[in-house]
Structure formats: C-alpha cells, structure tokens
Structure 1
Amino acid sequence: MTTLGIIGAGHIGSQVARAAVAHGYDVVIANSRGPETLAPLIAELGDRARAATAPEAAAAADVAVVTIPLGRIDDLPVDELAGKIVLDTNNYYFERDGHIDELDKGETTTSELLQRQLPTSRIAKAFNHIMARDITTDGAPAGTANRRALATAGDDADAVDFVTRFYDELGFDTVNIGPLSESWRVERDRPAYVVRQNADELRANLAIANRLP
C-alpha cells in the first residue's frame, strides 16, 4: 500500500490526509509544532495514520505532499525526499511570504522554486487551486456529468501520472498544464484559481490566464 508523507498539517494537508486514508492510503503527517500536537487529527484518521517529524514523514513516504508556506521550503528535508515524487500544493502570498522578486516579475513559478530546493525530487503541482474543504466533498465518480477538474503540471511523467490517478480516486478529472514552467496558469489570482470548473472550463480558464497582473 502506498504511504503518503505529508509535510504540513494545515487546511490542505489535513484534508489530503483525510481523503487519502478514506481511499486506502497510509499517511505519515508532520507539522512545525511537533507530532504530539497532531494527536486529535491522528485519532480522527485512525490506524492508517501516524504523526511524525518532517524528516520522518519524508523518509516514510512513497509519495510526499509538501503543503507548507513558500517561505519555509528551505527547511525541507532534502535528502529524505531525494528521488521521490513530491506534490506541491503551494501558492505565493506576498503578504505572508514577503516579496520574491522572481515571482513578482513572472520569471519562475512556485513549483520551480520547490524543484530548485529539492533538485533530485520529482515535483508535480497538485491541490493548489481548490478550497481545502472541497477536497473531501466535491469529488464524483468518473464519467459523472460536469465532474470537477483539477490541474497538474510537472517535468516528470511519473509524477504527473500519479497526480492524475490520485485525483481520479478522489473524484476529480485532471487537466495537465504541461511542464512546471507553465504552472503559473493555475496560481493565485488567475481565472482557474479556487473556482469550481469541469475539464473544458478549466482548459478555457488556463488559456486566458495572464502571466502578470
């Protein structure tokens, strides 16, 4: 059985953990405050989940989910994530992260910054343009009319394939944006960000996105 190592137990991380456990995954989850602070969440998730430190969650992961503020990616356990598929849920909030010149100028993306920090990991964008609550409530079986779609992007085919399968298990269609360099199309303040859309609507919103405000 696949183990998800989730680094970050905020709104998105906790919801991904709930969805993963419900679909038969094992989960090892970490936050910045220590494993003991996750006791209520672990009690809710049950026997398939355990709390750990970030390095422990990374080491245990078959696939990792990084869902921490962008300004803290320098603290990630690089060696423990080496060679692994890593799902990047992040968005750039300059109000929280401080201004990052490369992002302000449209010269890179949040996922490319994560790839730079984790040079041997296989990064794919995931879950960054959906409200956390919708992860466990808005899915539908494959083939359902108007099924909600989510985007992914990545330079590694296996990472993108995993996101596609995982989205489908959770009840979402997938639209592949392409490489990490195109993931800006689904970042904050673009037309596809945190709105409900089917696959055709998502493709249309991606196509009309502007790189800079």
Structure 2
Amino acid sequence: MPPSPSVIGILGAGKVGTVLARLALAAGHRVLISASGSAERIALIIEVLAPGAEAATTSEVIERSDVVILALPLGKVRSLPVDLLVGKLVIDSTNFWEPVDGPLPEFTADPRGTSEVVADLLPGARVVKAFSHLGYHDLDERPLPTGHPDRVALAIAGDDECDIAEAATLIDELGFEPVPTGPLATGKDFQAHTRAFGYPLTPQELRDAIANPIEREG
C-alpha cells in the first residue's frame, strides 16, 4: 500500500468526526478539525473528545491537510469552499437521514448514490466513499491490528485506483480491513438502508452484502 497522509483534516466534530480523530491520532497522524460554532466551543469539544487534535477553521483544515474527511451533516456539503478542495483527496463518510437532514432535493431526487452527488457538489475534488457504513460506536470500539482474524471490514468506493489505495492505507492504519468495491457508483450499495449498512462485518460478509444490497426497512 502507498504511504498514508500525514495530516488528516476532519470537517465535523460530532460523534463520527471525533472518533476518527482519535483513531488517526493513535495511528500517529496529525489531526485538524473544524466544526460549526464558536472557536472556543470547538476547542473545548476537541480537548475533551479528541485530545491532541487541533481546532481550525474549515479553510485552514482543507489547506493544511493531506486528506479531508467529510464528517459533517450532508446538507452542509454545498456550503464548503469548493475551490480549496480541488485536487484534494476527500473521503466522504456522510449519510442521508431525512429526519435529520431534511428533504435535500439534490439527493432525494437523484437516483445515484449520495457520494456521487457529493462529488458533483465538489468538482475537482478526488472523492471516495468510506467510513460511512459502520456506526461511530463500532468505529470506536472495534479497531484491531493488521492481520487480526476478527478485523471488521470497511468498504471503499472511488473512481481512481490511486485514491482508493491511499484511502485503504489509512483505513488499515486506523484498525480496519479495507474492502475496495469499485467505482464511486458502487457506494450506493453500502449506503444507508442497505444490507451492508450498520453492522460490523468480516470482509467476506461485507462483499456478500454488497453483492446483494437489497434495502432494509427503516
């Protein structure tokens, strides 16, 4: 696998964002986080939930990071500084939940996967989908070393093999088994309400779920 990024930028200081920050810090990366709210509030959240990470503005996180992870509400993607993300590896961990996000017609009216719409909203960014189908509690509690037989699998979808490989290295370092699924369009097969979503699965179980991604109720 290629070397992973040394500076991880996380947009969003909620449950997923702070868990990923802790995992990245444990793997030896420098971590920058931005979120909505006052700088003082963000700094306090990070000090408590991701000690060692650095609070910064959204623009600073993007400019100073080697990879940017989207861990913010899906509706806020449209407000990101698109020009700063051009050429950046962007890992989309977002999911669409209408009770929380609202109708978001650009997503609800589009038959494609949500990450394909995100890629359209961020032209020029190198978007891959990952960290999106496992709950924050499993991300927090289930990392294991490379080669461990009980390792939980994480899917990656993207349109560039080098971007997928870079994301896979990061996933491996954070304690999970990377499972590339193919182009970004295949991200639809492990987004919310599919068989792969919300359960800790082995690599083969994940591949089987993605091969038959019939939506679950709820």
Q: Distance in 2 between matches of 1:102 and 1:114?
A: 10
Give the alignment of 1:42-81 within 5 angstroms.
Answer: 42-44=46-48, 45-47=50-52, 49-81=53-85
| Deviation (angstroms), 1:130 | 0.9
Distance 1:158 1:35, change over 3 A: farther
Segments of 5+ residues of structure 1 without an aligned counterpart are none
For the residue of structure 1 that corresponds to 2:158, the secondary structure is: coil
2:125 is the alignment partner of 1:121: yes
For the residue of structure 2 that corresponds to 1:79, the secondary structure is: helix
Partner residue of 1:37? 41
Report if the CA contact (8 A) 2:195-2:215 is conserved: no
2:23 is the alignment partner of 1:4: no
Segments of 5+ residues of structure 2 without an aligned counterpart are none
2:31 aligned to which of 23, 27, 42:
27
Distance 1:101 1:42, change over 3 A: closer
2:196 is the alignment partner of 1:192: yes
Q: Distance in 1 between matches of 2:46 and 2:185?
A: 36
Q: Could you list the per-position Cα deviations for residues 66-123 of structure 1 after superposition, in whole angstroms to 9, with x for gaps in the alignment?
A: 1111111111111221101001001111222233456446621111111111111101
TM-score, L = length of structure 2:
0.90
Report if the CA contact (8 A) 1:106-1:211 is conserved: no
Partner residue of 2:137? 133
2:87 aligned to which of 64, 68, 83:
83
Partner residue of 1:164? 168
Partner residue of 2:159? 155
Equivalent AA in structure 2 for residue 88 of structure 1: D
Q: Distance in 2 between matches of 1:103 and 1:117?
A: 11
| Deviation (angstroms), 1:197 | 0.6
2:179 is the alignment partner of 1:175: yes
| Deviation (angstroms), 1:46 | 4.1
Percent identity between matched residues is 35
For the residue of structure 2 that corresponds to 1:15, the secondary structure is: helix
Q: Distance in 2 between matches of 1:170 and 1:105?
A: 35
| Deviation (angstroms), 1:202 | 0.4
Alpha-carbon RMSD: 1.9
2:208 is the alignment partner of 1:204: yes
Q: Distance in 1 between matches of 2:108 and 2:178?
A: 28
Q: Distance in 2 between matches of 1:154 and 1:35?
A: 33
For the residue of structure 2 that corresponds to 1:201, the secondary structure is: helix
| Deviation (angstroms), 1:43 | 2.6
For the residue of structure 2 that corresponds to 1:147, the secondary structure is: coil
Distance 1:46 1:209, change over 3 A: closer
Q: Distance in 2 between matches of 1:204 and 1:103?
A: 26
